[in-house]
Amino acid sequence: MSESCIFCRIIRGEIPSYKIYEDERTLAFLDINPSAPGHTLIIPKAHVTRVEDLSEEDAEALFRTLHRLVGGIQDAMEVPSSTIGINNGPESGQEVPHVHIHIIPRTRGDRGGIMQGLVRTTGRPSGEAMLDIAERIRERVG
Ligand code: 5GP
Ligand code: ZN
């Protein structure tokens, strides 16, 4: 828990929210500044800033809640699809330093883009470069 964190304050009920779902480890509520109707945030109840710092239990619990809610959000908003994403760290645009999954309902013609279109810092790397990148990552996660 963090005294000043907005999302911790929502968990404690100090700031009101339009709550959608709650269990032992997670809470889901409507985003106050929605990109589309039904834009929902899912957060761990533990104050953790970044995905890589979540406990395995909270990581599992977050995805379980996402899986549980996403169909109902789409049905309720009468949309066929959604974009699901996490801004992980300030350089990615994270403003609230408490992990949160965005679920943004999507419709054809909503003029939204695709997540992989957010950034373009590379062209298509050579096979050699891809091998090198894969190896560098494997060394750190294996
Ligand atoms: P970020 O850029 O950190 O991924 O996004 C933070 C999100 O939290 C934003 O979409 C913003 O609208 C939402 N948000 C910020 N403060 C509040 C709040 O007090 N209540 C709710 N429900 N959402 C908030
Ligand atoms: Zn917090």
In which band, very low, low, confident or very high, does the pLDDT at 1 lie, cut at 50, 70 and 90? Answer: confident
In this prediction, residues 70-87 reach a mean pLDDT of 98
> Residue 15 falls within a domain, yes or no?
yes
Q: Is the pLDDT of residue 142 over 90?
A: no
Q: Look up the domain containing 24 and give its range.
A: 6-113
In this prediction, residues 83-95 reach a mean pLDDT of 98
Q: Is the pLDDT of residue 106 over 90?
A: yes
> Residue 44 falls within a domain, yes or no?
yes
> Residue 14 falls within a domain, yes or no?
yes
Most ligand 1 atoms within 8 A of CB, residue of 33, 86, 104 to mutate? 33
Question: What is the domain count for the chain?
Answer: 1
User: Measured between alpha carbons, how far is 94 from 121 in angstroms, rounded to an integer?
Assistant: 19
> Residue 135 falls within a domain, yes or no?
no
Q: What would the two tokens of residue 77 be?
A: 């908003």
> Residue 139 falls within a domain, yes or no?
no
CATH of the domain at 39: 3.30.428.10
Kindly report the pTM of this predicted structure.
Answer: 0.97
